[in-house]
Amino acid sequence: MRFKKTRPALLVALALQQFYSPAFAETATNDSKNDKSIDAAQLPEIKVNSQKMNDDFAAGAFAGFRTPTPLRDIPQAITVINRAMLDSQSIASLSEALRNVPGITVGGAEGGQIGNNINLRGFSSRTDMYLNGVRDSGQYYRDTYYLESVEVLKGPSSMLFGRGSTGGVINQVSKRPLLADSNQITGTVDTNGGVRSTGDFNRQLSDTSAFRVAMMGQKAQTTRDVMTNEDFGIAPSLRFGIGTPTEVTLSAIISHNNDMPDYGIPPVNGRPAKVNRDTFYGLRDDRTVQDTAILSGRIEHKFNSNLTLRNQLQYSHYSTDAQTTGANNVGTLSGSVFTALPTVTSGNLTPLPLDALFVKLASHDRVIKDQSINNQTDLIAKFDTGTIKHTIIAGASISHDTSNIQATVRTNLPVVSLVDPAYLTTPSNSVTTIGNKADADATSVGAYINDTLELNKEWKLVGGVRWDRFKAGLTNTISTATPPLFKADQTVSFTSVRSGIIYQPSDVQSYYASYGTSFNPSLETLAATAGTQNLAPEKSRSYEVGTKWDVFDGNLSLTSALFDIEKTNSRSQVSPGIYISNGDVRVTGFEFGAAGRITRDWQLMGGYTHLNPRIAHASALEATNGKDLANTPRDMATLWTTYKVTPQWETGGGVTYMSPRFASNTNVVSAAGYTRWDGTVAYHLSKYDIRLNLLNLTNKEYINALIPSDGGRSVPGSGRTALVTVAHRF
């Protein structure tokens, strides 16, 4: 059913009717120092003031990777985007939130991959998305209405998380019920015609239990023609035993998306075609309809202040019905005969003017049904051996994933002008043919142990090892590969390690050096390229040294890191259908970051990352030897800062810089670098906030996402946009 313009407002109104009593304010939980479940046996549940807004960008002292751990005790680079930062920028999607993390780039919808396609330090994070520490592998668009923060752990991390995690891990931390009663509702309108509303309601049920529900409804639009997304979601959670030895949390995230897919602009002469950035190459009846349901149960028992046992069970169901159309080929049109340019592999090189070129549209239709069930058990123990203090985390996990993808193909689709395409619907003479049906499943079993040894006040050692067994299989009903791939099975075992040394001469300073590994089976994503199914997993290793400083009385955190990641046996095609594990991919770089307050009224969050993303060795057939990794700029920088002019008035803004990058590993099609400026002005009262966000102040034309297929397509960013958000707490 199509969304109506009034649906977001009705959604919140319904929630208010059901929860009309003092409940919880969304912004009241922004203080991660008060809201992290550090040790419920030692810290009481914090009573929050629903009338006070917390706007601190500082990440807080802890991150929740497997167990809440002080950031200074994690020997890897970490970026935390908290609720205050999300609200300050009026961020609605996870992809937009991650643009605050230098080293991350966004890819577009590609093949069977729909949703958040993220590159971290040059490597795909397709399977490295987590929700409260549990793998969240679905292909769906992730919103932020139910999130308290987003944690990005950088560098290979298979010791903690199993397969994948070459570039790092992205963990979504959802909002939790608290012992407080408050409400918050927000409404946002923008100059593109978009409307969004959210609600966040918490009710204290007893001295040790609470219920919370977050919800969202929106009609989202950009300056891109035809692009409209209509979404809603609800995330209830129930928490028992707060502050007692045994705590139980039950939660769910249910969402529905009816979105217009955007396959971007085709390349001409090795660059995105120089057409109006709002130009749309698709059909008006395209859609991506997604339904997501994630159900989670967590029980944690504290035997005493030194021993905790936790078990987390999560079931996820993801369903996608995609009828999508994109620009397949660029060429010429003579009468009704379309002839594709013969130079697609070199970026559609042509001397012809753009108005003499046409685009052949092609379908990318499929119905995807994915399910997964994950169980994670962790034991956290603290004890001493002589003068050495130990914090041991031992765990075991088991998961089962299934995937079913039914592809269809529409033929007789239109040919449209490159410069001025007609916005059409699927023609009546189009023929739909059933394509390949791919069925896949995988079972993963893993066990790990990690020990943090505090030798004395200044020195800590970190060491861990994990064993994983990954068994997967898939079948295809149709295969056009050479040789055909109708069936594949794979069983691999792998041991991952992690080690680090930390020197902390004071509470202000922390210096570390670390080593970690990761592995990537060829059936990791429950899909395979013919010829790779029998290869051993790709192996990666990372060396990193860094510093973490807490200055200005701990109000401002400064970080730096120098790192080297190498994938030593990447898959390389030596002849049609034949792959061997002789490739070498290496990313070296350094980064700086800052988050927190310079003064009571002035705060910021920002960072800079430099990468050297090189394919050190590949086969001659792939033509990528010595090239840069796809969608990996060498330089990225972000900065967001705000200043309280008065207790009520706040102003600020930020900048995002990205250097040029390539659409694919062949480096044939490139996107220019860009600098984007944003701004904000806000007025705060005890119960209300009114905020104006100005996006892309200079109306800069830039490429938002890159897609390697069809020669390398580029999705332009939105033009200048203003958003007004009103938040009401009661």
Tokens 């794979």, residue? 490
Phi, psi of 16, rounded to the nearest 5 degrees = -65, -40
pLDDT of res. 643:
98
Residues 339, 335: Cα–Cα separation, whole Å: 11
Nearest to 101 by CA among 561, 514, 559, 593: 593
Q: Which amino acid is at 263?
A: Y
312: number of Cβ within 10 Å: 19
What is the DSSP-derived secondary structure letter of residue 55? Answer: -
Inter-residue contact 401 to 372 (CB < 8 Å): yes
Inter-residue contact 92 to 247 (CB < 8 Å): no
Nearest to 500 by CA among 58, 49, 72, 97: 72
Inter-residue contact 97 to 86 (CB < 8 Å): yes
Q: Which amino acid is at 61?
A: A
- For strands 182-190 and 721-729, give the pairing: antiparallel
Q: Which residues make beta-bridge pairs with 248?
A: 240, 299
Helices (H) and strands (E) in the chain, counts: 5, 42
Tokens 């006040």, residue? 457
Model's pTM, two decimal places?
A: 0.90
537: number of Cβ within 10 Å: 22
Tokens standing for residue 104: 């991350």
Nearest to 23 by CA among 267, 294, 291, 211: 211
CA distances from 148 to 26, 172, 595, 677 (A): 9, 8, 17, 26
Tokens standing for residue 688: 């209300």
Nearest to 289 by CA among 258, 254, 323: 258
Region label for 142, one of left (φ > 0), alpha (ψ between -120 and 50) or beta (otherwise): beta
Inter-residue contact 636 to 658 (CB < 8 Å): yes
Residues 83, 96: Cα–Cα separation, whole Å: 13
Nearest to 467 by CA among 160, 711, 192: 160
Nearest to 514 by CA among 548, 489, 491, 538: 548
Q: What does pLDDT average to in each consecutive run of 10 residues of the chain (730 residues)?
A: 40 39 37 38 39 65 72 92 95 94 78 68 90 90 95 90 90 95 97 97 98 97 93 97 97 96 93 96 95 98 96 97 93 95 94 97 94 96 96 96 96 96 96 96 97 96 97 95 91 96 96 96 91 92 96 93 95 90 95 95 96 95 94 97 97 97 95 97 96 97 89 92 97
pLDDT of res. 114:
65
Inter-residue contact 498 to 160 (CB < 8 Å): yes
Three-class SS of 389-441: EEEEEEEEEEEEEEEEEEEEEEECCCEEECCCCCCCCCCCCCEEEEEEEEEEE
Tokens 């969202």, residue? 216
Query: How far is it between the farthest Cα atoms of the chain?
Result: 87
pLDDT of res. 458:
97
- For strands 62-63 and 431-454, give the pairing: unpaired
Tell me the domains of the chain and their CATH numbers.
Answer: 7-729 (2.40.170.20)
Residues 314, 694: Cα–Cα separation, whole Å: 38
Q: Which amino acid is at 466?
A: R
- Read out DSSP for 92-115? -BHHHHHTTSTTEEEE--BTTB-S
530: number of Cβ within 10 Å: 19
Residues 349, 493: Cα–Cα separation, whole Å: 46
pLDDT of res. 59:
63
- For strands 487-503 and 459-476, give the pairing: antiparallel
Q: E-assigned strands of 534-673?
A: 538-551, 556-575, 578-597, 602-617, 635-644, 649-658, 661-662, 670-671
